[in-house]
Structure 1
């Protein structure tokens, strides 16, 4: 038992940092058929019943399984001398370079033989853009991944309309973020609170809400949108079967706890592995999601901060709900 506790503690220490694309726990193949995940994509990636080599060497029996949330990935790091929220912004090739890359892919040659010119082949990004941790560099230039993308981040500034929903979940004057995570004293209960950004430094989080990814969790409304940050690895999934194709597919289809977009396994060797419902040919979302049906408490008071807030500020709106508990997170209604 002591060894198991040590393993879990080691894994938990590393939760909350997702900088790179996470591979599937099973071997995958590409099928030439319309994607059930992305509109206008004429192929889809599906899982086989065979575990990937990485999964076989990663001690999955000791891994911590957490919910894969359907939102957009964010990162907290220092900008302008203080903790800031950063949005995912991947550098992608321009049309001409992308056409050349796809033609090379069809040739079935090794992708390592493809020559990129990062300065000329890629679309421009803001000067504040930084590559994600783990991006390889060559001659001081970031190297694109196997998909021809350079993963990275851009700081969320209040005057950037492109990231207005990101900005609604942070307040830089108070140095806080609007966070959803399991309650510290009751893991069955979710909690919405204002968390100091400094406590989230170098973590990644998922932004979910009204205007993100089609809002599968039923948060807020068009008139009163709600957007929340969820630390990666903070929401465990329960009653998952062993990592077996048929058992997992049945769990997604029949279990109440299986009404999630997917699973992320956090392994003791640092490997992250995932399984998405679409890997199994399953619809998402399919009715109410498990997260949307969970109870939630609002447990912070925005009035303790000594400055004037705007009438439409999301923090102020939640402050009015301080101390309240809702049977389901999708039941939260803001005062209008």
Structure 2
């Protein structure tokens, strides 16, 4: 559902939010919390959020599939951020004005350099052909994953660059509660944004793999639907997060018919994440990865490890264990 390289976590909250001056539950260095009020965001109402499709907000790192050197390729998220001097000036302005509105950036001098291959994300605004920062002072963008760059080793682990395929987690075609781990051509994922989740990403809230046998996979944004989602009502959502097994998620993203996306995060209602496991990690999963030794050049990698489990079903996603 989510396409064109847009960045999912820039999606607005489904409710009008209020800032409270107390320690954030989400970011240790943030001395305020952004909390949802009981008023539905006018943007959400205009997009008919009450008839939208509710999907799980995933806790990982955002990726994008588009062409690189003429072939489908996995790109990693990389925001262009202010340098130290500009960041200091920006924070001082925010402290004085209690807002970032009206702050003026020098697009030539205020930002750190990025790799030559870097591209801005879609929907980033431009001024005279130059991308301009969002309200946080960041310019969201992408860089192609380099398999020889250790910084992106976990991105690289889910892709076979030679044949152009990726390890993807998704619901099975015949049962949307049951999951499958499958090898998918990158060409089938063109212009999609996805979430990389797994052992070494964001503290691994889904319990995937282990230090000895790490496991990572890509999940297309919007692919994990919430079957019994509550109404867009603050109290109902609070209760659902705390009492329903399906509510053990980081948040909810609603996909409206006109393409608008709105979300709510557990932190928007003052709840912790993760908190006692996840619904995704407890769902059954089947492995559908049939990779031959010729395809993987005889090397031991995630594709060959999963291929040894081809056809196996596990009662829970977090129970996947590779054969020795």
State the Cα distance separating 1:39 from its structure 2 match.
2.5
Query: Are 1:60 and 2:49 an aligned pair?
Result: yes
2 CA distance for matches of 1:16 and 1:226? 25
Q: Deviations over 1:306-326 (max 9, x none)?
A: 451322x00110000001000
Which residues in structure 2 correspond to 1:148-227 (within 5 Å)?
Answer: 148-227=137-216
State the Cα distance separating 1:148 from its structure 2 match.
0.8
Aligned counterpart, 1:320: 308
Aligned counterpart, 1:118: 107
2 CA distance for matches of 1:204 and 1:81? 19
Change (3 A) 1:18 1:53: farther
State the Cα distance separating 1:147 from its structure 2 match.
1.1
Q: Deviations over 1:11-30 (max 9, x none)?
A: xxx44556131110011122
Comparing 220-229 with 105-114, greater Cα deviation is found at 105-114
Task: Give the conservation status (yes or no) of the 8 Å contact 2:65–2:186.
Answer: yes
Q: What TM-score does the superposition give when structure 2 sets the normalisation length?
A: 0.96
Aligned counterpart, 2:236: 247
How many residues align? The count is 322
Q: What TM-score does the superposition give when structure 1 sets the normalisation length?
A: 0.92
Task: Give the conservation status (yes or no) of the 8 Å contact 1:296–1:325.
Answer: yes
Tell me the SS of whatever aligns to 2:109. Answer: helix
Q: Deviations over 1:175-214 (max 9, x none)?
A: 1000000001221210000000011010000000000010
Tell me the SS of whatever aligns to 1:42. Answer: coil
Aligned counterpart, 1:42: 31
Comparing 77-86 with 33-42, greater Cα deviation is found at 33-42
Query: Are 1:19 and 2:18 an aligned pair?
Result: no
Q: Deviations over 1:84-122 (max 9, x none)?
A: 101110011011101111222233387553221122100
Query: Are 1:332 and 2:316 an aligned pair?
Result: no
State the Cα distance separating 1:140 from its structure 2 match.
1.4
Query: Are 1:272 and 2:261 an aligned pair?
Result: yes
Specify every segment of 5 or more residues in structure 2 that has no aligned partner in the other structure, as ranges. none
2 CA distance for matches of 1:307 and 1:290? 33
Aligned counterpart, 1:11: none
Change (3 A) 1:268 1:202: same
Tell me the SS of whatever aligns to 1:202. Answer: coil
2 CA distance for matches of 1:203 and 1:266? 15
CA RMSD of aligned residues (A): 1.5
Task: Give the conservation status (yes or no) of the 8 Å contact 1:277–1:283.
Answer: yes
2 CA distance for matches of 1:51 and 1:307? 50
2 CA distance for matches of 1:305 and 1:28? 54
